[in-house]
Chain A
Amino acid sequence: MLRHFTLIFAVAFLLLIGGMAVLAPLLPLHDPVQMDVMSRLGKPSLTYLLGNDEYGRDIFSRIIYGAQASLAVSLSAAVLAAIGGVALGLLGGYFQGWIENITMRPLDVILSFPPMLLALLAVTLLGPGTGTLTVILAILFIPAYARVTYGEVLSVRNLEYVEAARALGHRSGRILLRTVLPNVAGPILVQFSLVVASCIVLESGLSFLGLGVVPPDSSWGLMIRGARPYMHMEPLGLLWPCLALVFTVFSINRLCDFLRDMFDPKASVAAFTLPGMLAGQRLSRTAHAMSRKAEPDSLLQIRDLTTEISTPRGPIRAIDGVTLQVRRGEAVALVGESGSGKSMTGLSVMKLLPRRIGRIASGEIWYSRGEGENARAIDLAPVPASHFRAYRGRDMGMVFQEPMACLNPVYTIGYQLVEAITVHNNVSKAKAEEMALAELKRVGIPDPERRLREYPHQLSGGMRQRVAIAIALCGQPNLLIADEPTTALDVTVQAQILELLEDIRRTSNIGLIFITHNLGVVAEIADRVVVMYCGQVVEEGSVEEIFYSPRHPYTRGLLASVPKPEDLNSGEKRLASIPGTVPSPLALPPGCRFAPRCSYSTEACSVAVPELEVVTESQAARCIRWKEI
């Protein structure tokens, strides 16, 4: 609320003072230079609203006319500086090379002097006056704009739309003005309001020193200068111009904060009140036994899991009633396109949802611990993320697409591995180092002794992913969740990592959830496949069932979209494709979510969300027409 209040105040104040300054000649104000000797240093009265100054002039009207001078000088200086600075920044940033040198280097000279000192020097040489002041201020603030523009242009010029404009054959001038400038305008606008505020302060400072606006014209700085000798007799005279100055600068800064927020697309997102389950539900759950006897062979059973994510346009269900099972030593592939909820499923299990933005809304995650008869299953869904450290690493590990996500660039590989090992095992440092070496050997890193002493950036992408896997494995987890672990890698390296994961799964008998969009990788590694679309499981089955007898039209479409040698032999050179695009999670179709893109859809498909129907013992499809298709 306070935020809005200050903003409203700022806007209102600026409108008021700006409006009065512009309309000053039309307003029924006293003449700002007319002296009324009888009321020298007079108190505020009905005739003189804010009192009189040392010559008996009306303070109120001098404030207004002072605003006129201050604002006129600052705004025109800021505009002039903007034109000069933006032009230099655009040229320097876009062309680089010698143009960069002649545009940007001289500005460093200006920057290397304290602005007040430079202004003092210039005014002393050229003599005071509004015109000189404006020009001096403009020159002083050119570097501020040029630097901001230059920096923005550097990042924009390498974007592909600029390159596309060049490729089309547009002239450089046109690219600069029509393509680059609109995209760097936001920060420049913010810079503008900052410069205006600084100009007002500098102008007042110079006028106070007698180097700015020339008396008898009014200026806030001059007013402060005039009132200073009499501050013991009439402190109010000093207060008014100071207040005007403070409120103006505050208002402008507040406004520019607001502008910056406007141009920053990172819109604020409403946070959920409680991370994890709703409070009531959690209490009732903790009262009941959270563990039960485990089903034989089962490692992880997810039942009806629903995860909500808060977005700027309202909460969405990133995953909606997902049920899946992983057995010991089994590789389950979660397949889907972007927005299918496959990664969210992994993050939900690991309790790594973005804090207060994502939460498990309902469902159960049964995880089995222990061997044979003694095995117990625990429901992890209600366990708050803060207590989840007991499970992470030791029971389940995770590997991400970008290995750097889990490697700290400032520590050596050895340090990070030893740290991870000592978290999970109560061992001495020497023993931990020994184990780290063994871990690196296990994930197939050549020359592990040397690698232990190296930093992540010294390793190639594939090596980093191996280290990330080693770290995930060092707590001896029973479940490994791999989220697109090979997507960032080259095909030849991808094959190596797949072999490694396969090898680890076989030797350690751990369950693997492999999240990917790449069907080729799935065919390579998975025992069972779960296909997701718009947050729901649309089909699941053994790898052979999914690839050789897919039942859901979406699975069929996905498989058909991959180019195969047969596509070439048929005379018609076409890939089968799924028409349309994935619907927005904020506007999901009623009924079957795939219906709008499905060539088999009927009216019945849009009535209700289809259930996951059993096809065979191991296969199920969420389609009401799977039998016919």
Chain B
Amino acid sequence: MKDPIVEIDNLQKHYGGSKGFFGRVRKPVKAVDGVSFTIHPGEVVGLVGESGSGKSTVGRTLLRLHEPTAGKIRFDGEDITHATPQRMRALRRDMQIIFQDPYSSLNPRTRVIDIVGEALDLLGPLPKAERSERVVQLLEQVGLTGDHLRRFPHEFSGGQRQRLCIARALAVRPRFVVADEPVAALDVSIQAQIMNLLVDLQREIGIAMLFISHDLGLVEFIADRVMVMYLGRVVEMAPARELYANPRHPYTRALLSTAPTVDPRAARARKRELLQGEPPSPANPPSGCTFRTRCPFAVDACAVERPAYRQVGAGHFHACIRDDVAGGQVVPQVA
């Protein structure tokens, strides 16, 4: 196997937290609390979690758009955790991001030709004619046309705007892209268009991608490998097929059992593993396993220490101390 393009080791990102004036200590919010993973060239890794799980923060911190609190980020073998701003600017061409909201991620006062063209300029100055020719090429690659060159972002629909964002990200020929909920703000019929576009482009160019989403169906569709995050930690990681067929962590199981399906009979027939309550605040997470407060299988031992990762199959890891839970039932352990 080739060397990984992205390697994250024990990444942490804490927000806030300070020693108050009268010695009152405010606890930081641990948005990302010790996340490690690798992404190989050309691989699509899905990152699933609910709001507040820290999945978006992982994406932004590993691109150093936000500074990590602790941990190591390696890109293409190079440690970029403390890379200088000059070095980062050079590296940014290789790593891009597509945002969730196609409305706020385009400068409203810039024309299409410059939105994409300014990204192209970073590769070096081009003669004017060649520049606009290249912009048209990129637009056509994402399903827009050269007629759109002189328009402003507000003249486009949500789906078209997201295409523009993708064209801008691809303009610098990145080798790795973070797609942060790229279709969550779009209508269902448009979602499918953009998902197909992402799959096509990913195959064509062979870029590696971190696909962040709360939608399990979309992740299953696009990802080779899937990580599930809960309260700043990855609780399970497995090849996509394996995860959906054989989820091991109680949280993953609950997510899968409550995921919407468009089959009414199946939806009503299935046994749902309804979770109690809601995720606790990341400012004050439970001790030990952070999921234990909602977990139907929690035992006293879960509160003691943070569960270590256990390997249960090829590339399949989970962080639950109980491996006697399967199929929603506690099975007696075979000695």
Contact = CB atoms under 8 A, between A and B. Distances in A.
Interface string A473-493: 000000000000000001111
B259 A520 contact: yes
Interface string A160-172: 1101111111110
Nearest to B254: A492
Interface in B235-254: 241, 244, 254
A182 B60 CA distance: 25
B287 interface: no
A168 B168 contact: yes
B258 A491 contact: yes
Interface string B95-125: 1110111001111111000000011001000
A520 B260 contact: yes
A567 B199 CA distance: 13
A544 B265 contact: yes
A333 B151 CA distance: 38
B51 A167 contact: no
B189 A558 contact: yes
A461 interface: yes
A388 B178 CA distance: 50
Interface in A446-504: 446, 460-463, 490-496, 499
B73 to A, nearest CB: 15
A576 interface: yes
A562 interface: yes
B312 interface: no
A304 interface: no
Nearest to A533: B189
Nearest to A544: B264
A463 B89 CA distance: 44
B207 interface: no
Given A168-B168, A495-B258, A182 B109 contact: yes
Interface in A545-562: 547, 557-562
Contacts of A577: 189-190, 192-193, 195-196
B104 A161 contact: yes
Nearest to B190: A581
Nearest to A547: B264
A179 B195 CA distance: 29
A433 to B, nearest CB: 25
B212 interface: no
A170 B118 contact: yes
Nearest to A486: B260
Given A167-B92, A337-B187, A561-B192, A160 B104 contact: yes
Contacts of A582: 157, 187
A292 to B, nearest CB: 35
Contact of A563 (B122, B187, B217, B263): B217
A579 B157 CA distance: 13
A524 B267 contact: yes
A221 to B, nearest CB: 40
B50 A168 contact: no
B1 interface: no
B199 A574 contact: yes
Contacts of A544: 264-265
Nearest to A490: B50
Nearest to B121: A170
Contacts of B278: 460-463, 490, 492-493
A517 interface: yes
A543 interface: yes
B267 A490 contact: no
Interface in A512-538: 517-521, 523-524, 526
A170 B258 contact: no
Given A168-B172, A521-B260, A490 B214 contact: yes
A492 B50 contact: yes
B93 interface: yes
A617 to B, nearest CB: 19
B129 interface: no
A492 B263 contact: no
Interface residues of A, number: 62
B89 A561 contact: no
Contacts of B191: 561
Nearest to B258: A495
B189 A490 contact: no
A207 B118 CA distance: 50
B187 A168 contact: no
A498 to B, nearest CB: 9
Contact of A167 (B63, B199, B216): B63
Contact of A543 (B220, B244, B255, B264): B264
A563 B211 CA distance: 15
Contact of A575 (B118, B192, B254): B192
B221 interface: yes
A209 interface: no
B220 A169 contact: no
Interface stretch (B18-26, B75-83, B268-276): B268-276
A522 B211 CA distance: 26
A159 B104 contact: yes
A338 interface: yes
A495 B274 contact: yes
Given A337-B187, A568-B220, 9 more contacts: A161-B105, A163-B99, A164-B106, A490-B214, A523-B267, A547-B263, A565-B244, A578-B190, A581-B190
25 contacts: A159-B104, A161-B106, A161-B108, A163-B60, A167-B63, A337-B189, A460-B278, A463-B278, A490-B50, A491-B214, A491-B216, A491-B258, A492-B258, A495-B272, A520-B259, A520-B260, A520-B262, A523-B261, A523-B264, A524-B260, A524-B267, A557-B189, A561-B189, A561-B191, A581-B190
Interface of B: 50-51, 60, 63, 65, 88-93, 95-97, 99-101, 104-110, 118-119, 122, 157, 159-160, 165, 168, 172, 187-193, 195-196, 199, 203, 214, 216-218, 220-221, 241, 244, 254-255, 258-265, 267-268, 272, 274-275, 277-279
Interface of A: 159-161, 163-171, 178-179, 182-183, 337-338, 446, 460-463, 490-496, 499, 517-521, 523-524, 526, 543-544, 547, 557-565, 567-568, 573-579, 581-582
Please give me the 5 A-B residue pairs with the lowest Cβ-Cβ distance, nearest first.
A520-B260, A169-B92, A577-B192, A160-B105, A490-B50
